[in-house]
Amino acid sequence: MSMLALDLAATIRHDGHGGVADGLATLDETREWVQAKGPLVAEVLGRPFDPAMLPVDDDVREHLVGVRRAVRSLFARAVSPAPPSKADADNLLEPAEALRLLNEAADELGTTHLEWPAEGEPAMRWSGRSSEPRALLLGAVGRSGIDFLAGPERLRLRACPAARCVKYFLQDDPRQTWCSPSCGNRERVNRHYQRKHAG
């Protein structure tokens, strides 16, 4: 399974002070994220992807932020009736609009073709509407979102209910409530404190 869409969603995180930090807020941060995710993009594309070939400008950043909003809106739908991440609960797209955005991004990759070199194994490749790195990045992100939401992993998606957390995570065990042991510990301490001071 590709983790690219989940990784993109995780660029919105708790800032440690009760607020929300956006890992794609600036061009520098977006460049850093794209650099780090090169291998995940390559995994979706089924061929090498060199992030250094992609000039990250405002257009790329805005498109990534748009696909992220679509992914997070659909994640909110996936965890329903449990409440969505608090980070953007007031800022979610209508499902039809989120689906349109995600599908449009994935469409950049075109359709699947079979390649079978004389000396080698048959392999599935995206025909691609373009070999532009920008189109490949957005296409890979969109495709990863589709594969995730249409696949079995969707059923393990959870929004961490800890007060100071905005994370979506994959539940490994049915008893797992929190995204991490540190969220669980913090919540247990909070609840203990609230009970002690409730009356």
Q: Is 165 in the site for Zn ion (CB under 5 A)?
A: yes
Q: Is 70 in the site for Zn ion (CB under 5 A)?
A: no
**Number of CB atoms found within 10 A of residue 155's CB:** 9
Q: Is 162 in the site for Zn ion (CB under 5 A)?
A: yes
For residue 81, is the peptide bond before it cis, meaning its omega torsion is within 30 degrees of 0?
yes
What is the DSSP secondary-structure string of 125-178?
A: EE--S---HHHHHHHHHHHHHHHHHHSGGGGGEEE---TT---EEE-SSTT--S
Q: Is 179 in the site for Zn ion (CB under 5 A)?
A: yes
Task: Name the one range near Zn ion by CB under 5 A: 22-30, 60-68, 110-118, 182-190.
Answer: 182-190
Task: Name the one range near Zn ion by CB under 5 A: 31-39, 96-104, 138-146, 173-181.
Answer: 173-181
Q: Is 87 in the site for Zn ion (CB under 5 A)?
A: no
Minimal CA–CA distance to 29: which of 12, 45, 50, 6? 12
Which of 9, 78, 93, 183 forms a contact with Zn ion (CB under 5 A)? 183
The residues that touch Zn ion, with contacts defined as CB under 5 A, are 160, 162, 165, 167, 179, 183
